[in-house]
Amino acid sequence: MSRVQAVDHLVVSVGDFAVSKKFYSGLFEFLGFAVMDEMPAAMGWSNGDTRFWIYEADPQGKGRPYRKGDIGFHHYAWSLNSRRDVDELQAWLEKKRYRHRRSRRRVL
């Protein structure tokens, strides 16, 4: 029997805090998360079960681009309640003109 109930929180280091804050603030409002805390270089949201944080990367971390094959965090995925929720999220992202991270416009 697993001793773990759930993932308590995720923390993502971001290269441009202002750009990432704008993106994640809109995303989490759409997903029903509320702001838990905000600091000059960090911000956290919660839906009551899961907490998600962004922190500004340090200068060394900002000095090199993320590469998917590197050691470390690979990705995360949200499980939404319905296909309709997924479609509405996709429409929201397209309306805001956010693209997949492989595009030239990088959110993180």
Q: Which helix (H) or strand (E) holds 22?
A: helix 17-31
Residue 31 CA, chain-centre distance (Å), reads 11
| C-alpha dihedral, 23 to 24 to 27 to 29, nearest 10° | -120
Single pTM value for the model: 0.79
pLDDT score recorded for residue 107 = 43
In the chain the domains, ranked by start, together with CATH numbers, are: 9-57+78-95 (3.10.180.10)
| Tokens, residue 4 | 């773990």
Of residues 66 and 48, which shows the higher confidence score? 48
Span 58-103, pLDDT tens digits? 998 888 877 778 777 777 888 889 999 989 988 988 888 876 655 4
